[in-house]
């Protein structure tokens, strides 16, 4: 199956390109998401059987002062893409985020729970979700969290660097969520695209995150353990690490609907982390 993918340098887009023949990947030079009409035209003119949007404005703090651009990329672009897919009669898979919720409570977020983004990034991603649903085509929105891989900038790579440089690190311990490997997200997106092509009735919004849920501090401890690094990790509250954009304290997500509908089970992030660390170690050798 020929699949058009928006994004070439992001964590998930790189993993998608590794996994499937027939991936047509479009980078920013070909598909600038700040130009939604051009993105839609590319879908119309490309011979593909499904589209996956793996590109986004992900600079959470910068979005607070650049919301207009984030709204174009995260809101208007996927809306235009979904409309083009609907007109063409092909499925559209779109990656979203736990940031559409306000992070209150301590229970996993259900797909139909009330959304209430804390900042610009979450607001613009929610706008994109709403546009995809309103387009009227076959779609799968996949909300995920805490993405990591051997590519780009992410928490795992940062912790491995700092853990090798320092004896002591202070890390936030009151934000809880599910770290999710980009490779696992890519696998889920491809499975969704395949199944949506065969059954449009599976259209909907789904949650996908690694398990078990963990704090950033405990995630770091596991990274260090698997990397044979020994810095002391000191738990701190979010209030000790202020950022321009508020982060949700509770990013737990209930992933049961994805398993029920698509047969996609929640991955153990510790197993995926081992694969990522092995790749990073091989690259460093």
| Catalytic residue annotation | 121
How many other C-beta atoms lie within 10 A of the C-beta of residue 107? 10
Tokens at residue 38, please? 């051009």
What are the two backbone dihedrals, phi and then psi, of residue 22, each rounded to the nearest 5 degrees? 90, 5
Distance between CA 242 and CA 153 in Å, rounded?
20
Tokens of 97: 């985020």
- Here the tokens at position 235 are 């738990």
| DSSP structure string for 63-119 | GGT-HHHHHIIIIIHHHHHHHHHHHHT--EEEEEEGGGS---SSSPBPTTSPP--SS
């Amino acid at each position: 199956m020929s699949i058009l993918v928006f994004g070439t340098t992001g964590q998930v887009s790189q993993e998608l390109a590794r996994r499937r023949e027939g991936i047509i990947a479009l980078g920013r030079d070909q598909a600038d998401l700040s130009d939604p009409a051009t993105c839609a035209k590319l879908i119309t003119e490309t011979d593909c059987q499904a589209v996956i949007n793996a590109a986004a404005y992900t600079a959470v703090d910068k979005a607070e002062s650049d919301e207009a651009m984030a709204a174009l990329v995260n809101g208007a672009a996927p809306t235009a893409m979904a409309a083009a897919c609907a007109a063409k009669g092909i499925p559209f898979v779109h990656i979203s985020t736990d940031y559409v919720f306000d992070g209150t409570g301590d229970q996993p977020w259900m797909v139909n729970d009330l959304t209430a983004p804390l900042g610009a990034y979450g607001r613009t991603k929610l706008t994109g979700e709403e546009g995809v649903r309103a387009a009227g085509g076959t779609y799968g929105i996949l909300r995920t969290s805490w993405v990591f891989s051997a590519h780009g900038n992410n928490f795992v790579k940062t912790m491995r660097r700092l853990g090798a440089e320092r004896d002591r690190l202070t890390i936030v311990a009151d934000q809880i969520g599910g770290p999710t490997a980009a490779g696992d997200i890519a696998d889920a997106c491809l499975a969704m695209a395949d199944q949506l092509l065969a059954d449009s009735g599976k259209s909907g919004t789904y949650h996908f995150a690694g398990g078990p849920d963990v704090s950033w501090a405990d995630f770091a401890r596991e990274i260090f353990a698997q990397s044979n690094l020994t810095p002391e990790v000191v738990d701190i509250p979010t209030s000790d690490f202020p950022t321009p954009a508020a982060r949700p304290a509770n990013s737990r997500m209930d992933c049961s609907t994805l398993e029920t509908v698509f047969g996609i089970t929640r991955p153990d992030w510790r197993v995926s982390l081992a694969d990522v660390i092995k790749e990073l170690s091989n690259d460093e050798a």
